[in-house]
Every structure is written in structure tokens, then in C-alpha cells.
Amino acid sequence: MALSRARKAEIVGSYVAALPAAEHAFLVSYKGVTVPQVTDLRARIRQKGGHYLVVKNTLALRAIQGGALGSLAEHFAGPTAIAWSSEDPVAIAKVLTDFVKEVPALEFKAALVEGRAVAAAEIQQIAQLPSREQLIAKLLYLLQSPITRLARVLAGVPQQFVSVLDQIRTQKESA
């Protein structure tokens, strides 16, 4: 059934409203994936703060013209879905790669990470990166470590002084 011009304009408007917010986007081919599997994937992506949208290619191409996703225009062929997030690309990449292990029918087409087009082969490498929370924890540890060591050294000086005074006291008592 053909879409009316008004319905197409409405769909393009919804794409324009949603897709420009996609700082990090992954294009996938969902051919051969069942509806319950896609529903499961959507739920997993939502848990990580992302979105999943099956798009109509011709309408999506109109919506992404001039935007960051425009660099991936050549990949809008065949059944296409977009998984995107404005926060953590690694989390979405991990969800998708884990899902591909369970459902090999889902295939990566390309990705957009921080405004840069990424080939499908590189998405596995993105998924292996530590998450944003892990990187922040490592940074805090590295920043806190020198301060902790300095506090221990500064606390050691009075401790040693008290120890020396205690040794002098014991020597005087024994003498």
C-alpha cells in the first residue's frame, strides 16, 4: 500500500525530529530478524539510553541531508534500522555486538561516532572499548592516587616523630 504525500511528510518530520540528535548512530540490516528479537533488541538499547528505529530509506535520506548522518547516505539500501544515542556510543555498540552473537542475521552497515563515519568492521573495536563509567572511574583513581600517597607521607612524619620520642623515652627509662 502506497503512502500518501501527507503521511510521507509526517514520517520525514519524525525522522528530522529524532535523527539530528544522533551524535552516535549505528546502521544495521535487520533482514531475517524476527519481531520478538527486534523487540528484545529495542529494550536492550533503551536500557543503555539509546533509541532504535526502523526507517524507510527514501524518506530517511531526505531527513538526513545536510546532517552528520548524511555521510552514511550510501548505506541506506535494503532493510535499514538505526540505533543511536547522544551519550555513550560504546554502550550501544556493545549491545549490538552482543545481539549479533545471538542473532547472526543482524548485520552492521556503518556507524557514526562523534560525527565521524565508521566502517562496519570497526564497530567490533568500538564495542571492546571500556564504557564511559569505567573510563571516569579510572580517571578518578589516577587523580586520587597521588593525593592519597601525599596524605600518607605527610601522616608518616608525625608518626615517625612520635616513634622516635617513644624510643628516647624507653632508653631514658632503661638507663
Tally the domains of the chain.
2
User: Do 36 and 64 fall within a single domain?
Assistant: yes
At 18-71, the pLDDT tens digits run 776 677 889 999 888 899 999 999 999 999 888 888 888 888 888 877 777 777
Minimum mean pLDDT range among 48-52, 138-142, 166-170: 138-142
User: Do 100 and 112 fall within a single domain?
Assistant: yes
The whole domain housing 55 covers 5-129
Collapsed DSSP state (helix, strand, coil) of residue 106: coil
* Residue 108, Cβ density class (10 Å: 0-12 exposed, 13-18 middle, ≥19 buried): buried
How far is residue 117 from each of residues 20, 153, 158, measured CA to CA in Å?
A: 15, 49, 58
Give the confidence band of 1 by pLDDT, cuts at 50, 70, 90.
Answer: low
User: Do 70 and 139 fall within a single domain?
Assistant: no
How large is the average pLDDT for residues 74-84?
88
Give the confidence band of 173 by pLDDT, cuts at 50, 70, 90.
Answer: confident
Q: Which of 20-24, 102-106, 153-157 reaches the highest mean pLDDT?
A: 102-106
How large is the average pLDDT for residues 76-100?
87
Report the share of the chain in percent with pLDDT over 70.
97
Sign of torsion over alpha carbons 40, 130, 22, 32: negative
